[in-house]
């Protein structure tokens, strides 16, 4: 009797329709979970890129602050000059014996770069480096790429009671007299007679000492001529003390601002603003 009841009991299990429905549900859940996992990974990568960009931008701002806080006015070349594309500044080294370094921040073809010269301890070398820095090429391997996809940048100087465009003229201060070296002429004086006797003098002297400008003065005159040939936009006339007719070296220059405001606009639409107060020193 028990055997008949066992044999007559219906078989247990899933039908084909139930199996198909279960497989379909599992496929839908797998697709949803994979899509969620893909979105999670994409968000993680985006956050990683954003964090890396933020850290890099923070390091750039720190370097910017360090350069401005270390500005040194050598009174030989402009300590801080902005021409709309490049900012040139002279800064002291980490130690007193490191000399003065020329730093150039530039924006070319959407690439924000920074260039640093070797430490200079002589005025003539600093002037030569300052002049050469005006010929920097965008492909120069010595330039360090700070950021790309930069749409533009602008600097403002705090002069007097407010902010003004860095390319406008500022307060003028007197320049120190240029250094000169006194050398004795190695050729006879003009009009010297054969045999070493100067006509009308009756002396065989090689001539009186003459004051010859040193190479530092020549470089300073060249730099002044370049600045005069390319005045900053908004400047009102030539610098004080300059002679437009003769192109003489000016006897005055712009005073350093109290603070510098940096405004960088990226192609993504974000804007970087930073204000730094200066504490310039004289080596």
- pLDDT tens, residue by residue, 119-176: 998 889 999 999 999 888 767 778 899 998 899 999 999 987 889 999 886 666 555 5
CA 30 to chain centre: 53
- Are the C-beta atoms of 169 and 235 separated by less than 8 Å? yes
Tokens of 227: 């600045």
Please indicate, yes or no, if residue 183 is contained in any of the structural domains: no
Please indicate, yes or no, if residue 235 is contained in any of the structural domains: no
| C-alpha closest to that of 184 among 209, 213, 204, 205 | 209
Residue range(s) defining the domain that contains residue 71: 20-167+209-230+247-283
- Are the C-beta atoms of 107 and 82 separated by less than 8 Å? no
Strands 150-159 and 162-165 come out as antiparallel
- Are the C-beta atoms of 221 and 81 separated by less than 8 Å? no
Residue-level length of the chain: 283
Helix, strand, or coil (residue 81): strand
The pLDDT value recorded for residue 283 is 66
Please indicate, yes or no, if residue 198 is contained in any of the structural domains: no
Contacts of 153 (CB under 8 A, 6+ apart): 107, 112, 262, 263, 264, 265
CA 49 to chain centre: 24
Block residue for tokens 């949803």: 32
Stated pTM of the model: 0.60
The pLDDT value recorded for residue 51 is 86
- Are the C-beta atoms of 105 and 66 separated by less than 8 Å? no
Please indicate, yes or no, if residue 242 is contained in any of the structural domains: no
Residues of the chain with pLDDT under 50: 1, 178-250
Contacts of 237 (CB under 8 A, 6+ apart): none
Please indicate, yes or no, if residue 128 is contained in any of the structural domains: yes
The pLDDT value recorded for residue 7 is 54
The pLDDT value recorded for residue 208 is 37
How far the first Cα of the chain sits from its last, in Å, is 116
Tokens of 163: 């902010």
Please indicate, yes or no, if residue 185 is contained in any of the structural domains: no
The pLDDT value recorded for residue 274 is 92
Calpha distance 127→105 (Å, rounded):
18
81-101 per-position pLDDT tens digit = 999 999 999 998 776 667 899
Provide the CB-side half-sphere exposure for 247 (13 A, CA).
10
Calpha distance 232→215 (Å, rounded):
26
Block residue for tokens 């004080």: 240
Q: H/E element holding 130? A: helix 123-132
Please indicate, yes or no, if residue 2 is contained in any of the structural domains: no
The pLDDT value recorded for residue 193 is 37
Please indicate, yes or no, if residue 172 is contained in any of the structural domains: no
Calpha distance 4→86 (Å, rounded):
101
Please report which residue ranges of 162-277 form alpha helices under DSSP H.
215-229
Phi, then psi, of 82 in degrees rounded to 5: -125, 130
How many structural domains does the chain have? 1
């Amino acid at each position: 009797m028990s055997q008949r009841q066992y044999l007559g009991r219906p078989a247990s299990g899933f039908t084909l329709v139930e199996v198909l429905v279960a497989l379909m549900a599992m496929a839908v859940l797998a697709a949803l979970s994979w899509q969620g996992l893909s979105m999670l990974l994409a968000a993680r990568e985006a956050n990683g890129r954003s964090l890396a960009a933020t850290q890099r931008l923070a390091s750039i701002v720190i370097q910017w602050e360090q350069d401005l806080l270390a500005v040194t006015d050598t009174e030989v070349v402009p300590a801080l000059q902005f021409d709309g594309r490049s900012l040139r500044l002279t800064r002291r080294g980490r130690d007193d014996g490191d000399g003065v370094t020329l730093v150039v921040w530039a924006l070319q073809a959407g690439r924000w770069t920074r260039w640093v010269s070797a430490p200079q301890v002589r005025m003539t070398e600093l002037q030569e480096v300052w002049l050469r820095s005006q010929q920097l090429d965008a492909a120069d391997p010595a330039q360090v790429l700070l950021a790309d996809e930069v749409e533009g940048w602008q600097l403002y100087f705090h002069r007097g009671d407010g902010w003004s465009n860095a390319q406008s003229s500022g307060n003028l201060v007197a320049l120190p007299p240029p250094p000169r070296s006194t050398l004795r002429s190695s050729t006879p004086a003009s009009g010297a007679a054969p045999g070493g006797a100067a006509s009308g003098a009756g002396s065989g002297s090689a001539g009186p000492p003459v004051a010859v400008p040193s190479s530092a003065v020549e470089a300073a005159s060249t730099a002044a001529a370049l600045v005069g040939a390319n005045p900053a936009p908004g400047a009102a006339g030539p610098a004080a003390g300059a002679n437009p007719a003769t192109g003489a070296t000016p006897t005055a220059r712009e005073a350093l601002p109290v603070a510098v405001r940096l405004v960088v606009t990226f192609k993504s639409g974000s804007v970087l603003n930073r204000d730094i107060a200066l504490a310039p020193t004289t080596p």
